[in-house]
């Protein structure tokens, strides 16, 4: 009941709800952080309403993260000075050096800092594609999910929801034994992976804001017959994440080893459906684009990382014309701003097609509205949460609140506001981020910033990495 004690009440200048603004918007949140009331009129006989001069949007969904890579963001940006500049594969060698050396408490401190920064940028959920499982010598910890548990603890500290996706990594490449650089990643067979998954589910259980998905690192990292068997043995109600078709070399290798391109192989060998989240899917043929769209499989696009690593551009226009479903992720965390990810995705299409406004469907021609709905709903599915309303009675209240006094927002009509936010906003234009009905960040300040940043600085210093 709305009048109960310990309930929180907000009044926002407006709240964006499924293609329309509720203005003003009154939201009451119960003790569990769930929305109990949402209306343009205030709840009866309530006086303790927090008045917020801002526009509430659903919290962003970060559908792809490798937390430890945050420690190397920005320090792999030097040209070798030779005719052979750095590429994805040489970057990967540098990343393996970090993966080989990071200790559990260091992993937790890096992830907590990263996740706190994600919340500051408006993300309220993260899917952590987690493949560093073993100790520094490559031996499994007595609790196989020990490092996954550290990531969940980091998310808890940072106040972000986490979907931990423990990753099955078996091979060093197509038909190859794992290398020393990969020794912390390896599950030798399906049973060992399913055990890791079970341990991860056990680790997540005590946490209210953690869930678990499943994942295959890539077609090059697990034998094809094992991928098939594993996917047939996974629970049917959790999201399944796979890296796919990020690099041209990977496509050529797949053609030789599998006799098919990566996405072509997935379409022919797995029963893809809306639980599948194909990360990157950068290099696709028209038939692959249509196949994915038809199966309702989702694509997770990570524009700032894909740009940074020189991957290529996802064929958005064609995928979208077939009602293909996509979300965004920050992957290596070279960029953490969700608005920038959306802009990159759109502008990549604009500069190659010489046309404007790539985001649209026949039902939704406003680019900002289209992008927010797609990234939110497919992003939530990537966390295992299937819904088609932004804010719903009974759902946890997660929101990013844009500052109504930011110059461009202050002068814009509600009709044009969402695209103004997406195309001309940034995270300095937010009042803060609410997760589970509580402010976690306000005025750019995370509530646990002091502790989190102190640990982070100390860990980075001890890693002697930067």
Residues carrying an active site annotation: 280, 331
Work out how close the CB of 302 gets to Zn ion at its nearest, in angstroms, rounded to a whole number. 7
By beta-carbon proximity to Zn ion, the closer residue of 245 and 435 is 245
Closest to Zn ion by CB, 128 vs 331, is: 331
d(CA 74, CA 430): 25
**Per the omega criterion (within 30 degrees of 0), is the bond before 310 cis?**
no
Give the angle 128-87-259 at the CA atoms, nearest 5°: 75
Task: Kindly state the smallest distance separating residue 76's Cβ from Zn ion, in Å.
Answer: 15
Of all residues in the shown chain, the one whose CB is closest to Zn ion is 331
Output 280 or 446, the one with its CB closest to Zn ion.
Answer: 280
Report the site for Zn ion in 132-161 (rule: CB under 5 A).
none
> Beta partners for 25?
12
- Tokens, residue 60: 């962003």
Footprint on residues 315-374 left by Zn ion (CB under 5 A): 331
Of 311 and 331, nearer to Zn ion (C-beta) is 331
Q: How far is the CB of 246 from Zn ion (least distance, A)?
A: 8
Q: Beta strands of 372-425 (E only): which ranges?
A: 399-403
Reduce the secondary structure of 421-432 to three states and give it as a string: HHHHCCHHHEEE
From the CB of 301, what's the least distance to Zn ion, in Å? Answer: 11
Contact 435, 157 (CB under 8 A): no
Joined tokens for residue 159: 């106040």
User: Cα(314)–Cα(301) distance, rounded to whole angstroms?
Assistant: 8
Torsion of CA 455, 458, 462, 465, to 10 degrees: 90
CB contact set of 120 (below 8 Å; sequence gap of 6+): 427, 433, 441, 444, 446
Q: Tell me the two tokens of residue 35.
A: 């929305």
Q: How far is the CB of 279 from Zn ion (least distance, A)?
A: 6
Phi and psi at residue 91, to the nearest 5°: -60, -40
State the nearest-atom distance from the C-beta of 225 to Zn ion, in Å: 24
**Total number of residues that touch Zn ion (CB under 5 A):** 1
What spatial distance separates the first Cα and last Cα of the chain, rounded to whole Å?
53
Residue written as tokens 């098919």? 260
Residues that bind Zn ion (CB under 5 A): 331
């Amino acid at each position: 009941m709305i009048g109960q004690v310990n309930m929180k009440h907000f009044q926002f200048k407006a709240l964006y709800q499924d293609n329309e603004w509720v203005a003003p918007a009154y939201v009451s949140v119960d003790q569990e952080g769930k929305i109990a009331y949402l209306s343009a009129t205030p709840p009866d006989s309530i006086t303790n309403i927090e008045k917020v001069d801002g526009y509430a949007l659903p919290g962003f969904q970060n559908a792809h993260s490798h937390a430890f890579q945050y420690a190397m963001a920005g320090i792999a940006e030097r040209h070798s000075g030779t005719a052979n500049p750095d590429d994805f594969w040489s970057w990967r060698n540098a990343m393996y050096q970090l993966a080989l050396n990071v200790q559990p408490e260091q992993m937790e401190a890096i992830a907590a800092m990263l996740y706190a920064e994600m919340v500051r940028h408006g993300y309220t959920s993260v899917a952590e594609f987690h493949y560093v499982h073993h100790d520094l010598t490559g031996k499994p910890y007595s609790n196989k999910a020990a490092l996954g548990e550290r990531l969940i603890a980091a998310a808890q500290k940072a106040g972000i929801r986490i979907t931990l996706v423990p990753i099955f990594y078996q091979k060093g490449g197509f038909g190859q034994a794992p290398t020393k650089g990969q020794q912390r990643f390896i599950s030798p067979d399906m049973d060992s992976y399913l055990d890791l998954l079970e341990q991860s589910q056990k680790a997540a259980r005590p946490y209210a804001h953690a869930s678990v998905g499943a994942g295959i690192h890539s077609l090059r990292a697990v034998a094809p017959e094992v991928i098939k068997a594993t996917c047939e043995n996974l629970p049917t109600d959790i999201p399944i994440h796979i890296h796919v078709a990020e690099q041209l070399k990977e496509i050529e290798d797949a053609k030789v080893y599998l006799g098919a391109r990566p996405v072509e192989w997935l379409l022919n060998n797995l029963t893809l459906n809306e639980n599948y989240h194909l990360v990157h899917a950068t290099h696709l043929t028209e038939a692959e684009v249509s196949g994915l769209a038809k199966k309702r499989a989702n694509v997770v696009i990570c524009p700032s990382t894909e740009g940074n690593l020189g991957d290529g551009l996802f064929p958005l226009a064609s995928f979208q014309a077939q009602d293909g479903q996509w979300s965004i992720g920050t992957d290596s965390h070279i960029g953490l701003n969700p608005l920038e990810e959306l802009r990159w995705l759109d502008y990549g299409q604009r500069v190659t097609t010489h046309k404007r406004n790539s985001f649209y469907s026949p039902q939704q021609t406003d680019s900002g509205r289209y992008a927010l709905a797609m990234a939110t709903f497919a992003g939530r599915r990537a966390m295992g949460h299937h819904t088609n309303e932004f804010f719903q009675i009974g759902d946890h209240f997660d929101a990013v609140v844009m500052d109504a006094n930011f110059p461009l927002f202050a002068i814009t009509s509600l009709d044009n506001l969402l695209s103004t936010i997406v195309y001309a906003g940034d995270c300095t234009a937010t009042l803060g981020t609410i997760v589970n009905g509580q402010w976690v960040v306000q005025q750019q300040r995370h509530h646990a910033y002091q502790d989190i940043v102190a640990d982070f600085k100390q860990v980075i210093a001890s890693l002697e990495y930067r």
